[in-house]
Structure 1
Amino acid sequence: MNELHLSLNIDGLPLFKSSKVTLWPVLGRIINLEPEIVFPIAITCGSSKPQCLEFLKETVDELKILMQNGLLIGDKAYSIILSCIVCDAPAKSMVKAIKNHTGYSSCDRCVIRGRSVHRRMTLADCTTLPLRTASSFRAQTDPEHHRGYSPFCDLQVDMVNYMHCVCLGVMRRLLLRWIRGEKSTTKHVPLKRPSLSAHQVQIIGERLLALKTHLPKIFARKPRSLVEVDRWKATEFRVSKHVTEQLAEFAHKLLTSFVKKSSELYGELFPVYNVHMLLHLSKDAITFGGLDKCSAFRFENYMQQILKNVRSGKNLLSQVVRRHKESVSMPIVNDQQSVKKFTSERPNNSYILENGHCCEILEVLDDSIAPNLKCQVFTSKYPLFQSPCTSNLIGAYTTSLTVAIIKRIPSSYIASTAILLELANGKIVFLGIAHEFFY
Structure 2
Amino acid sequence: MDLNKWKRFKRSGAYRRKVNKKYCELAQKPLESLQVLTGSGEVGTSSSHDGSVQPKSESSTENLEQTDSLSEMPESESESDEEKMEYEKNLQLRKEIKIWAMKFNLSHAAYNELSVILNNRFQNILPKDARTLLQTTRQEIQITALGTGHYWHNGLKKQLTQVFEHAGVPLPNNISLNINIDGLPLYKSSRQQFWPILCSIFEIPSLPPLVIGIYAGDSKPLNLDAFLDPMISELNDLFTSGFKLSLQPTGIDTTAPVKVRAFICDSPARALIKGVVNFNGKHGCLKCTVLGEYSQLSRTVTFLRSDCPKRNDKDFRSKKDEEHHKIDSPLLKLNIDMVDDIPVCDSLHLIDLGVMKRLLMGWRDGNIGKYLTKWCSRDIEKVNKFLSTCLMPKEIHRAVRKVDVLAHWKGSEYRTFFYYLSIIILKDTLPTQAYYHFLHLFCAVTICSNEQHFKFLSIAEKLFEQFVEFFKNIYGKDYISSNIHNLTHIVDEVKKYGKLQSFNAYPFENKLHNFSQSGFVGSTSMMPSNEPLPGPSTKPSITEDIEEETDSLC
Q: Same fold (TM over 0.5)?
A: yes
Question: What SS does the aligned partner of 2:272 have?
Answer: helix
Cα distance in 2 for partners of 1:23, 1:338 equals 24
Structure 2 counterpart of 1:219, from 393, 396, 401:
396
Contact kept? 2:523, 2:534, Cα under 8 Å: no
* Counterpart in the other structure of 1:349: none
Matched, 1:251 2:460: yes
Structure 1 counterpart of 2:382, from 203, 218, 221:
203
Contact kept? 1:180, 1:193, Cα under 8 Å: no
Cα distance in 2 for partners of 1:208, 1:222 equals 9
Distance 1:300 1:267, change over 3 A: same
Contact kept? 1:14, 1:23, Cα under 8 Å: yes
Report the AA paired with residue 399 of structure 2: K
Matched, 1:324 2:536: yes
1:259-310 CA distance string (max 9 Å, x none): 1111111122211011101111122222112212211111011001112223
TM-score normalized by the length of structure 2: 0.56
* Counterpart in the other structure of 1:287: 496
Matched, 1:9 2:180: yes
> What's the CA shift for 1:112?
0.4
Question: What SS does the aligned partner of 2:206 have?
Answer: coil
TM-score normalized by the length of structure 1: 0.70
Cα distance in 2 for partners of 1:39, 1:215 equals 31
* Counterpart in the other structure of 1:130: 309
Cα distance in 1 for partners of 2:364, 2:545 equals 48
Cα distance in 2 for partners of 1:335, 1:45 equals 28
* Counterpart in the other structure of 2:432: none
Cα distance in 1 for partners of 2:496, 2:472 equals 29
> What's the CA shift for 1:191?
7.1
1:74-129 CA distance string (max 9 Å, x none): 23211111010111111111110001111111001000000111142000112x22
Question: What SS does the aligned partner of 2:360 have?
Answer: helix
User: Which sections of structure 2, spanning at least 5 residues, go unmatched?
Assistant: 1-171, 247-252, 420-445
Cα distance in 2 for partners of 1:336, 1:81 equals 27
Greater strand share, structure number: 1
> What's the CA shift for 1:19?
1.0
Cα distance in 1 for partners of 2:201, 2:364 equals 40
* Counterpart in the other structure of 1:143: 322
Report the AA paired with residue 327 of structure 1: K
* Counterpart in the other structure of 2:233: 61
1:206-243 CA distance string (max 9 Å, x none): 222223x3321x33321111112111111111121433
* Counterpart in the other structure of 1:310: 520
Cα distance in 2 for partners of 1:313, 1:334 equals 24
Contact kept? 1:105, 1:113, Cα under 8 Å: yes
* Counterpart in the other structure of 1:28: 199
Distance 1:51 1:130, change over 3 A: same
* Counterpart in the other structure of 2:70: none
1:400-436 CA distance string (max 9 Å, x none): xxxxxxxxxxxxxxxxxxxxxxxxxxxxxxxxxxx98
* Counterpart in the other structure of 1:85: 263
1:135-284 correspondence runs (5 A)? 135-155=314-334, 156-157=336-337, 158-160=341-343, 161-182=346-367, 192=371, 194-211=373-390, 213-216=391-394, 218-239=395-416, 240-241=418-419, 242=446, 243-244=448-449, 245=451, 246=454, 247-284=456-493
Structure 2 counterpart of 1:49, from 220, 241, 265:
220
Cα distance in 1 for partners of 2:302, 2:197 equals 31
Contact kept? 1:215, 1:222, Cα under 8 Å: no
> What's the CA shift for 1:37?
1.7
The alignment-based identity, stated in percent, is: 27
Question: What SS does the aligned partner of 1:327 have?
Answer: coil
Cα distance in 2 for partners of 1:333, 1:84 equals 24
Distance 1:328 1:134, change over 3 A: farther
Question: What SS does the aligned partner of 2:215 have?
Answer: strand
> What's the CA shift for 1:48?
1.1
Structure showing greater Rg: 2
Distance 1:281 1:56, change over 3 A: same
Contact kept? 1:306, 1:320, Cα under 8 Å: no
User: Which sections of structure 1, spanning at least 5 residues, go unmatched?
Assistant: 184-189, 340-434
Report the AA paired with residue 186 of structure 2: L
Cα distance in 1 for partners of 2:244, 2:506 equals 29
Contact kept? 1:101, 1:273, Cα under 8 Å: yes
Report the AA paired with residue 122 of structure 1: T
Greater helix share, structure number: 2
Distance 1:178 1:330, change over 3 A: closer
> What's the CA shift for 1:328?
4.2
Cα distance in 1 for partners of 2:548, 2:181 equals 29
Q: Aligned residue pairs: how many?
A: 332
1:174-233 CA distance string (max 9 Å, x none): 1111121117xxxxxx8746532221222122222223x3321x3332111111211111
Report the AA paired with residue 318 of structure 2: A
Question: What SS does the aligned partner of 1:269 have?
Answer: helix
Contact kept? 2:186, 2:521, Cα under 8 Å: no
Cα distance in 2 for partners of 1:315, 1:292 equals 35
Contact kept? 1:24, 1:45, Cα under 8 Å: yes
Matched, 1:121 2:306: no
Report the AA paired with residue 301 of structure 1: N
Distance 1:130 1:321, change over 3 A: farther
1:316-339 CA distance string (max 9 Å, x none): 478994422332437749969879
Report the AA paired with residue 109 of structure 1: K
Distance 1:105 1:333, change over 3 A: closer
Distance 1:117 1:79, change over 3 A: same
Contact kept? 2:178, 2:202, Cα under 8 Å: yes
1:399-418 correspondence runs (5 A)? none
Cα distance in 2 for partners of 1:311, 1:87 equals 20
Cα distance in 2 for partners of 1:334, 1:146 equals 40
Highest RCO, 1 vs 2 (Cα 8 Å, sep ≥ 6): 2
Report the AA paired with residue 256 of structure 2: Y
Question: What SS does the aligned partner of 2:257 have?
Answer: strand
Report the AA paired with residue 324 of structure 1: P
Distance 1:331 1:337, change over 3 A: closer
Contact kept? 1:205, 1:225, Cα under 8 Å: yes
